[in-house]
């Protein structure tokens, strides 16, 4: 898929090339998640399954779940209907595994795009010729093993403590957005810097120095992106699709984060 957008092209890739890359990776991660979950039919998710598949006002029966998919949920689909239904079935049968596989595809794809914009150490505006495979694999691991499980269990906890209301723009939704963005997000941002820094081999002192330098600006940028995204996610997305929605938003956010986290201590991020 990366061959369609050669690493030897100019620094500013065409919009069509970038959108093609995004569409292909999201489609690929959807296919991979569906295939993997069909292969892992023994995966058991029962107490979480009922918590994830219970939108307010909907009866918890199989035929109702199917009608939900074919009405509101399928409007969010970018893939063909059959593929989307297969993905939803995978979310029902193995929600955590499906979300982890999806994040494990989206995060390294975002890092690959970020590396195209990274001109660090290049002369005369030349683009870096080789993909840093180790860096991309770190993001794959982070998406699969950290981000997806973290958000999966966080939303299960949040919806359990504050169940969704019939009115999407309610006080309950506002409180959930505040908890998400001003309690969960600051903690998870530290986790991002810490886990990726340790995977890269940075010393704890260097990670602390980087947090001192970049944490405030990263959180301000985070709130600019994720406060409105959290409103949409918590007000309008069905519970079983919240991590998927978040992963799609994270595609663009990871392009920014990948550049910030991968730089050395005291090193500034170049402005576009």
The pLDDT tens digits of the residues spanning 16-64 come to: 554 555 555 555 555 555 554 444 444 344 444 444 445 444 444 445 5
* Window from 126-135, 200-209, 242-251 with minimum mean pLDDT: 126-135
pLDDT value for 109: 93
Are the CB atoms for 18 and 113 separated by under 8 Å?
yes
pLDDT at 215 over 90: yes
Q: Give pLDDT, residue 266.
A: 54
Q: Which residues of 222-233 are buried (b: 16+ CB within 10 A; e: fewer)?
A: beeebeebbbeb
pLDDT at residue 2 in the model: 41
| CA angle (91 as vertex; 71, 21 as ends), nearest 5 | 85
Worst-scoring range by mean pLDDT, 4-13, 197-206, 216-225, 252-261? 4-13
Mean pLDDT confidence for 240-251: 91
Three-class SS state of 249: helix
pLDDT given for residue 216 in this prediction:
95
Residue 11: per-residue pLDDT: 38
> What integer pLDDT is reported at residue 58 of this predicted model?
44
Residue that wins the pLDDT comparison between 255 and 51: 255
């Amino acid at each position: 898929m990366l061959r369609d957008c050669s690493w030897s092209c100019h620094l500013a890739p065409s919009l069509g090339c970038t959108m093609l890359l995004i569409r292909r990776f999201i489609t690929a991660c959807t296919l991979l998640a569906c295939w993997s979950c069909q292969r892992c039919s023994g995966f058991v998710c029962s107490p979480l399954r009922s918590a994830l598949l219970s939108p307010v006002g909907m009866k918890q029966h199989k035929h109702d779940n199917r009608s939900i998919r074919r009405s509101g949920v399928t409007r969010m689909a970018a893939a063909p209907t059959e593929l989307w239904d297969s993905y939803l079935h995978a979310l029902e049968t193995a929600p955590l595994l499906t979300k982890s596989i999806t994040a494990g595809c989206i995060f390294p794809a975002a890092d690959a795009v970020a590396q195209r914009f990274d001109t660090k150490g290049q002369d005369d505006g030349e683009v870096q010729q080789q993909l840093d495979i180790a860096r991309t694999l770190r993001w794959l691991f982070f998406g699969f093993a950290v981000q997806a499980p973290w958000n999966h269990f966080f939303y299960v906890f949040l919806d359990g403590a504050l169940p969704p209301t019939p009115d999407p723009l309610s006080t309950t939704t506002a409180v959930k957005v505040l908890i998400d963005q001003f309690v969960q997000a600051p903690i998870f941002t530290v986790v991002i810097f810490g886990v990726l820094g340790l995977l890269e081999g940075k010393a704890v002192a260097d990670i602390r120095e980087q947090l001192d330098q970049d944490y405030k600006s990263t959180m301000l940028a985070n709130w600019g992106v994720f406060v409105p995204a959290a409103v949409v996610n918590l007000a309008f997305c069905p519970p079983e699709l919240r991590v998927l929605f978040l992963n799609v938003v994270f595609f663009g956010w990871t392009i920014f984060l990948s550049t910030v986290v991968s730089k050395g201590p005291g090193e500034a991020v170049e402005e576009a």
